[in-house]
C-alpha cells in the first residue's frame, strides 16, 4: 500500500499486542481491548472532522482493527460507526479494515450481510467453508471447488467482491513476502 500511497498512515488496533501474541510487523497504536474499541470511535470522528473541514492535513489513513469478533462480542454499539466509516470514509481518505475469525459472527456484532455490499470480504482457509455453508449470497457450488483445492493447496481464500461473483483462489503463504 505504501508503494501506491507513500504518505499513507497505517494505524493498528490489536489487543494481542499487549500480551506479545501479535503476529503483526507494525507496532500497534491501540493495544488494550478498550483502546481497540476506541480506535473505531476515533476513526469515525476523523471521518466527521474531515467532512466538516476540520482536518487540514488530510493524511490518507488506514485503520486496521484485528480480533473484531472477540473485541465486540455481544456488543452491537459499534456497528453504526463501522458502517458509517465504510460508506463515507473512503471519500475522506479514511479506510477501516476489520479482521476476525468467524464470518458467522456478523449478526452478533449488529451487521446484516447487506452491510458488506460496500466491502470486499476475504475469508481465509476454514472460514471460507463456513462462509459458503452459512451465507446464501455465496453459491454452494464453490464448496466443491474449495474441497478440491484443499487437496493441493494449504492456503485458500474465498473472495466476495463488491461487484461480481464470489470466487476461490489459492492464497500466498503467510510470511512469504
pLDDT of residue 117: 65
Residue 39 neighbours by CB under 8 Å, 6+ apart:
11, 13, 29, 30, 63, 65
Asked whether the beta carbons of 157 and 146 are under 8 A apart, the reply is no
pLDDT of residue 131: 75
pLDDT of residue 37: 92
pLDDT in tens, the chain (177 residues): 667 788 999 999 999 988 888 888 889 999 999 999 999 999 999 999 999 999 989 999 999 999 888 888 767 788 889 889 988 998 999 999 988 776 555 555 666 666 666 677 777 777 777 777 777 777 778 888 888 888 888 777 878 777 778 888 887 666 554
Residue 29 Cα distances to 14, 47, 157, angstroms: 8, 18, 28
C-alpha cell at 102: 468467524
Closest to 63 (Cα-Cα) out of 80, 34, 79, 86: 86
- Residues 84 and 81: their CA atoms lie apart, in Å, by 5
Amino acid at each position: 500500500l505504501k508503494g501506491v500511497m507513500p504518505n499513507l498512515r497505517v494505524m493498528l488496533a490489536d489487543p494481542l499486542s499487549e500480551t506479545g501474541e501479535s503476529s503483526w510487523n507494525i507496532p500497534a497504536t491501540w493495544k488494550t481491548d478498550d483502546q481497540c474499541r476506541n480506535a473505531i470511535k476515533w476513526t469515525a470522528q476523523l471521518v466527521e472532522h474531515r467532512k466538516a473541514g476540520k482536518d487540514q492535513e488530510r493524511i490518507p489513513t488506514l485503520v486496521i482493527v484485528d480480533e473484531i469478533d472477540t473485541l465486540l462480542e455481544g456488543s452491537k454499539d459499534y456497528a453504526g460507526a463501522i458502517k458509517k466509516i465504510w460508506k463515507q470514509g473512503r471519500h475522506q481518505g479514511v479506510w477501516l479494515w476489520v479482521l476476525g475469525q468467524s464470518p458467522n459472527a456478523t449478526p452478533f456484532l449488529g451487521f446484516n450481510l447487506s452491510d458488506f455490499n460496500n466491502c470486499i470480504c476475504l475469508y481465509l482457509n476454514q472460514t471460507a467453508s463456513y462462509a459458503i455453508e452459512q451465507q446464501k449470497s455465496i453459491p454452494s457450488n464453490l464448496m466443491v471447488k474449495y474441497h478440491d483445492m484443499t487437496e493441493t493447496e494449504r492456503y485458500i481464500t474465498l473472495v466476495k467482491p463488491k461487484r461480481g461473483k464470489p470466487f476461490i483462489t489459492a492464497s500466498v503463504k503467510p510470511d512469504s513476502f
